């Protein structure tokens, strides 16, 4: 098995990279997301200086299970508010400069999910700085949040404009009932092992600016080099989940709890426990789901027609592994994403089919250097459409922008099953494209004198 290699092999400057970029989140976890607006340039720079100290206090080699850290990210209006020179601003990725709200039509964020309906101030030019603090327990979170608060409180000209707490549900699963955060690629040179022994570590440049990516070249990097190097982009989206509607949908189409669980698993590609359909097609296998050595050790070449895991299942769409190898033009390694999402909101108690009005879902977080060919490609081509799997009119059954007329095909013998009338189970409440600077870059931002 290939490992993620030693840090020396690729020469990643680990002491310049923010901890949250490379380290998987702890499990269990508690966390908080805070958005800030910079009204005063000098105060914003002071904020960068202070946050630089907070972030570099996180030992980059800390054990994920013990660690608690803060990640600092900036939106394009945030870079503008700090007075980053025009030449440098223009060197950022076009999608980042446009911002997520401007990409809504492209991303399928329409109807209820459209920016007009987003939670304030998400998607507005007021969002400048995003902070994420994550920790294995409330005690350590409080300590790390306190350090971050110290950095921005009593700084006139810097306002907290939004906050979202998150925590892992007692079940260890996300609101729809599935274990999440299992499949993530290994980053070459990080020293952190990946979860799929069949997937070679992905070139560091797919996730960090300043290193070669899967094309062999360097990803386009903002200038000056001091600002771009060891940075990356993140996407964060608050995704509200309609759990009661999802449960009712399955309930109305299944003759038993077992069949409900099976239909749900077919939609996701994994059972509630995390056990993949590819390895356990007929029933859940909690031991397999809980075993990190086995629960991601599979691909799809022996299931081309999707009898075990439908080609349209969420996880198979989002990472088709070797299923597209026959399509000469598709290199799945160019579309890999690191996910760092977390759950928010209370659990809808087991068996409840009526909505209780609570806000629950996931804060989806993607990390990568290519917003367009990683996050946007996967979202638009693989989740929002089905041309690549020969079902052009079908969208992701769980997270796709379905409109009450969505269809999901489950291959089975003797005849396939079609689920019809799929409504949207996920509503976008807002989000942002951000840039995560390296630590030297944070200092560079703090010392700007424009």
Residue 384 Cβ vs ligand HEM, minimum distance, rounded to whole Å: 9
Q: Residue 371: beta bridge partners?
A: none
**Residue 76 vs 178, nearer CB to ligand HEM:** 178
**How far, in Å, CA of 188 to CA of 181, rounded?**
19
Sign of CA dihedral 195, 133, 212, 326: positive
Contact between 40 and 158 (Cβ < 8 Å): yes
Sole binder of ligand HEM in the list 268, 275, 363, 371 (CB under 6 A): 268
- Using the rule CB under 6 A, is 318 a contact of ligand HEM? yes
Residue partners of 170: CB distance under 8 A and separation at least 6: 347
| Distances, alpha carbon 372 to alpha carbons 92, 231, 237, in Å | 13, 17, 16
Residue 174 Cβ vs ligand HEM, minimum distance, rounded to whole Å: 5
Sole binder of ligand HEM in the list 78, 181, 310, 424 (CB under 6 A): 181
Contact between 424 and 341 (Cβ < 8 Å): no
Residue holding tokens 């190097």? 229
Residue 281 Cβ vs ligand HEM, minimum distance, rounded to whole Å: 15
Sole binder of ligand HEM in the list 147, 270, 308, 429 (CB under 6 A): 270
Tell me the window of 40-48, 95-103, 170-178, 408-416 that interacts with ligand HEM (CB under 6 A).
Answer: 170-178
**How far, in Å, CA of 25 to CA of 85, rounded?**
34
**How far, in Å, CA of 206 to CA of 436, rounded?**
14
**How far, in Å, CA of 272 to CA of 178, rounded?**
4
**Residue 25 vs 50, nearer CB to ligand HEM:** 25
**Residue 16 vs 188, nearer CB to ligand HEM:** 188
- Using the rule CB under 6 A, is 424 a contact of ligand HEM? no
Please name the residue ranges forming H helices in 319-447. 377, 439-446
Sole binder of ligand HEM in the list 174, 190, 369, 402 (CB under 6 A): 174
- Using the rule CB under 6 A, is 315 a contact of ligand HEM? yes
**Residue 52 vs 431, nearer CB to ligand HEM:** 431
* CB-nearest residue to ligand HEM: 183
Residue holding tokens 């980059």? 60
**Residue 37 vs 336, nearer CB to ligand HEM:** 336
Residue 62 Cβ vs ligand HEM, minimum distance, rounded to whole Å: 23
Residue holding tokens 């952190």? 192
**Residue 178 vs 408, nearer CB to ligand HEM:** 178
- Using the rule CB under 6 A, is 362 a contact of ligand HEM? yes
**How far, in Å, CA of 81 to CA of 135, rounded?**
30
Report the candidate in 337, 355, 338 with the shortest Cα–Cα distance to residue 346. 355
**x/- map, 221-260, ligand HEM, by CB under 6 A:** ------------------x-x-------------------
Site residues for ligand HEM, 363-422, by CB under 6 A, read: 364, 375, 378-379, 383, 399
Tokens coding 328: 């000469």
Neighbours of 402 (CB within 10 A): 22
- Using the rule CB under 6 A, is 324 a contact of ligand HEM? no
The residues of the shown chain that bind ligand HEM, judged by CB under 6 A, are: 174, 176, 178, 180-183, 239, 241, 268, 270, 314-315, 318-319, 337, 339, 361-362, 364, 375, 378-379, 383, 399, 426
């Amino acid at each position: 098995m290939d490992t993620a290699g030693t840090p020396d092999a690729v020469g990643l400057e680990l002491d310049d990279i923010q901890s949250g970029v490379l380290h998987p989140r702890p499990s269990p976890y508690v966390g908080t997301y805070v958005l800030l607006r910079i009204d005063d340039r000098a105060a914003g720079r002071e904020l960068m200086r202070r946050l630089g100290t907070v972030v570099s206090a996180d030992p980059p080699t800390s054990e994920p299970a013990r660690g608690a850290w803060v990640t600092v990210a900036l939106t394009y209006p945030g870079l503008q508010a700090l007075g980053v020179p025009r030449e440098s601003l223009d060197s950022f990725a076009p999608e980042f400069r446009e911002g997520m709200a401007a990409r809504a039509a492209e991303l399928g964020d329409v109807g209820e999910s459209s920016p007009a309906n987003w939670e304030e101030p998400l998607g507005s030019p007021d969002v400048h700085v995003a902070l994420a603090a994550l920790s294995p327990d409330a005690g350590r979170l409080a300590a790390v949040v306190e350090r971050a608060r110290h950095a921005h409180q009593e700084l006139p000209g810097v306002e907290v404009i939004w906050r979202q707490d998150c925590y892992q549900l007692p079940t260890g699963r996300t609101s729809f009932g599935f274990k999440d955060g299992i499949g993530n690629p290994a980053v070459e040179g990080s020293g952190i092992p990946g979860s799929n022994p069949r997937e070679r570590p992905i070139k560091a440049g797919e996730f960090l600016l300043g290193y070669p990516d899967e094309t062999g070249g360097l990803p386009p990097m903002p200038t000056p080099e001091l600002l771009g190097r060891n940075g990356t982009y993140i996407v964060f989206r608050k995704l509200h989940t309609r759990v009661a509607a999802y449960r009712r949908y399955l309930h109305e189409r299944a003759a038993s709890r077992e069949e409900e669980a099976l239909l749900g698993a077919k939609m996701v590609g994994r059972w509630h426990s995390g056990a993949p359909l590819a390895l356990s097609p007929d029933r859940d296998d909690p031991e397999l789901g809980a075993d990190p050595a086995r629960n991601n050790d599979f691909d799809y070449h022996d299931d081309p027609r999707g009898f075990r895991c439908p080609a349209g299942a969420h996880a198979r769409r989002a990472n088709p592994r070797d299923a597209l190898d026959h399509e000469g033009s598709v290199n799945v390694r160019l579309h890999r994403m690191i996910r760092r999402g977390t759950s928010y909101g209370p659990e809808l108690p087991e068996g409840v089919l009526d909505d209780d009005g609570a806000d629950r879902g996931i804060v989806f977080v993607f990390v990568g250097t290519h917003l367009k060919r990683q996050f946007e490609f996967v979202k638009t081509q693989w989740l929002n459409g089905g041309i690549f799997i020969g079902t052009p009119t079908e969208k992701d059954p769980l997270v796709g922008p379905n409109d009450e007329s969505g269809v999901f095909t489950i291959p089975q013998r003797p005849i396939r099953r079609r689920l019809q009338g799929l409504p949207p189970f996920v509503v976008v409440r807002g989000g942002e494209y951000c840039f995560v600077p390296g630590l030297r870059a944070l200092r560079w931002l703090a010392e700007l004198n424009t």
